[in-house]
Amino acid sequence: MVKTKELSNFECRRIIGLYETENLERTILRKTGYRKITIHNIITKYHKTAEKMQKEFIESTGKEVSKSTVNHNCATLKKPFISELN
């Protein structure tokens, strides 16, 4: 039997952080030293949980929210106040 090592939450968030800064899986592989399949599985799981959270939010509040808002864990921004003086 092969012993497997589970990545810590910090390591997973580091991979997701690199992915969010528009790094390719290959460059993440070079920076972290993990196998490509490991990185791919973490990114895939990240996308699936974001979709699940988006559905739960819509069901509970009835408001539409984009998947990118859920991915980045932030609220939507308001439009800036524009007046004739600006």
State pTM to two decimals: 0.61
Q: Closest Cα partner for 44 from 70, 19, 7?
A: 19
Cα 77 to Cα 12: distance, rounded to the nearest angstrom: 27
Once rounded to an integer, what is the mean pLDDT over residues 1-22?
82
Decide which of 31 and 66 is more confident.
31
Question: What CATH number should be reported for the domain whose range is 1-47?
Answer: 1.10.10
Once rounded to an integer, what is the mean pLDDT over residues 27-33?
92
Query: Residue 41 — pLDDT band, cuts 50, 70, 90?
Result: very high
* Model pLDDT, residue 49: 82
Query: Residue 81 — pLDDT band, cuts 50, 70, 90?
Result: low
Q: Record the tokens describing residue 54, joined without a space.
A: 């988006």
Phi, psi of 50 (to 5 degrees): -65, -40
Whether the per-residue pLDDT at 70 is higher than 70: the answer is no
Domain extents in the chain = 1-47
